[in-house]
Structure 1
């Protein structure tokens, strides 16, 4: 997804404002959905770190004449070597996200212009990402990058031919001020007589937790334009994923966006607001002080000094 103009990264995740240069007020949909525990990723982090360590060992095996100097360097800089190994998963994720952003930008350009972006246009998008955020630093072949994007655009074109969506909104920011969140949907489309939120994904698979992002868009209260103009949120029937896998083709995957999914999202929004540091109260000086502090914290002694 391209970077919405009303949002900015913060230490607590991406946040949105409701007008240009206004205060950041609401966490993004992806930030809130990201509050969900991801214990299953711990094993993957370890696997990626071990793969990088083995790659470093293999380099020594392939370059025996330089092995002694490299071993000496790694030994002297143990902390730097540990950081490099530990960063394997993060770097992989960032590289995948950069590629996904490029595909999103190309699909957005297609949606706005009505025609498939040319190779020169895609190259321009990639160059802009390189200069702005240092993307594709490890990409060895610009032509290979073009080919990878072309595979995804072939799939996107097939989806357009098969489903004939009418694009009502593209890269549109939405907000729910009651719950307190904002976000940007890749597109609001009309298929037949039905309005839907559509998000493009280039991930290996369609994850079920994408439904949390989908339901947040469906339950948004207003549209927010880049100049801060608020518009009425159309009634959406639901949300779906346009999945563009590495192997080519596409999948149109509907998401559950009912009350149960929205309650989970609301709970995650409450978790985002939780300030754990405020829960440790000042040290008690006596048993009486301890009990009074606990009662005040529960609201049982309001107004008592």
Structure 2
């Protein structure tokens, strides 16, 4: 039995083996090594829109507390991301309960009701059979782990059952890096259930993402092969460089100059 827990270190999530205390980075933290230059422009746009849309409020705040006004504006993207993350987490919890066939409360929160309706339609149309949900995929070979949303059995175009590793996405769009996530999960060595039971990774035929928003849903195939997995492994090495190796490559200077000379007498004072 191997209970797995998670911790946050330096802005990254790590999975910890409760028996051996081995710590490995999470899949999403590894994928986070991809450069995302568009986020700079997105955050700047969000801050600018907030400043323009609430210019009177910000002006009054700045008169009383300039630092507070600055913090309010620079926190725009963080607050938006947290709000979206909270909704996404609640939606994921709802989806898991629904696909497991659990009874839901009589009244779902209004923010989640559109997600419930669309997920219910997905279940009705696709008729997926749940194999596993929210288990940890652990790679002993490459030292990473991550929790995937579901392992499903669905019928292909010929009506034959196939095993599909699946991720739910509730954002505005789906992005190519979801393929890196799916490959990392699917090519891991073993699955670990919430109660700590470990078993070899079963055969997986393909990957898919369910993109679900309040307005629509789409069940999309995701490329799932060794080439994509090798790109993930490149990021896994980059993660080690960023978090460990990069901190060891610069030594103390052989010589230096400039600045004010500090004499031995001054240091002893």
Does the alignment reach a TM-score above 0.5? yes
Aligned to 1:10: 9
Give 2:98's match in structure 1, choosing from 100, 104, 110: 110
CA–CA separation in structure 2 for the residues paired with 1:281 and 1:228: 43
How is 1:198-213 mapped onto 2 (pairs within 5 angstroms)?
198-213=166-181
Which structure has more helix as a fraction of its residues? Answer: 1
Displacement of 1:92 after TM fit? 0.3
Query: 3-state DSSP class of the match of 2:148?
Result: strand
State whether residues 47 and 74 of structure 2, in contact with CA within 8 Å, keep that contact through their aligned partners in structure 1.
Answer: yes
Are residues 226 and 18 of structure 1, via their aligned partners in 2, closer, same or farther at CA, if it must alter by over 3 Å?
farther
Query: 3-state DSSP class of the match of 1:148?
Result: coil
Question: Structure 1 stretches of 5 or more lacking a match?
Answer: 61-69, 123-145, 287-305
Aligned to 2:220: 253
How is 1:32-51 mapped onto 2 (pairs within 5 angstroms)?
32-51=30-49
Does residue 23 (structure 1) correspond to residue 21 (structure 2)? The answer is yes
Give 1:277's match in structure 2, choosing from 247, 250, 261: 247
CA–CA separation in structure 2 for the residues paired with 1:79 and 1:24: 42
State whether residues 241 and 253 of structure 1, in contact with CA within 8 Å, keep that contact through their aligned partners in structure 2.
Answer: yes
Aligned to 2:190: 222
Q: TM-score, normalization: structure 2?
A: 0.85
Question: How big is the alpha-carbon RMSD for the aligned residues of Structure 1 and Structure 2?
Answer: 2.1
How is 1:1-305 mapped onto 2 (pairs within 5 angstroms)?
6-19=5-18, 23=21, 25-59=23-57, 71=60, 73-112=61-100, 114-115=101-102, 117-120=104-107, 122=108, 146-192=109-155, 193-247=161-215, 249-274=216-241, 275=244, 276-285=246-255
State whether residues 4 and 16 of structure 2, in contact with CA within 8 Å, keep that contact through their aligned partners in structure 1.
Answer: no
What are the Cα deviations for residues 159-194 of structure 1, in whole angstroms up to 9, with x where unaligned?
Answer: 111111110101111111111110011111111321
Q: TM-score, normalization: structure 1?
A: 0.75
CA–CA separation in structure 1 for the residues paired with 2:224 and 2:129: 21
Question: Structure 2 stretches of 5 or more lacking a match?
Answer: 156-160, 257-269
What are the Cα deviations for residues 249-297 of structure 1, in whole angstroms up to 9, with x where unaligned?
Answer: 31001111222211111011111111322111221259xxxxxxxxxxx
State whether residues 171 and 187 of structure 1, in contact with CA within 8 Å, keep that contact through their aligned partners in structure 2.
Answer: yes
CA–CA separation in structure 1 for the residues paired with 2:146 and 2:65: 42
CA–CA separation in structure 2 for the residues paired with 1:186 and 1:46: 32
Aligned to 2:260: none
CA–CA separation in structure 1 for the residues paired with 2:72 and 2:94: 32
CA–CA separation in structure 1 for the residues paired with 2:214 and 2:235: 31
CA–CA separation in structure 2 for the residues paired with 1:218 and 1:116: 30
State whether residues 19 and 226 of structure 1, in contact with CA within 8 Å, keep that contact through their aligned partners in structure 2.
Answer: no
Deviates more, 1:213-222 or 1:74-83: 74-83
Give the aligned length.
246
State whether residues 153 and 164 of structure 2, in contact with CA within 8 Å, keep that contact through their aligned partners in structure 1.
Answer: yes
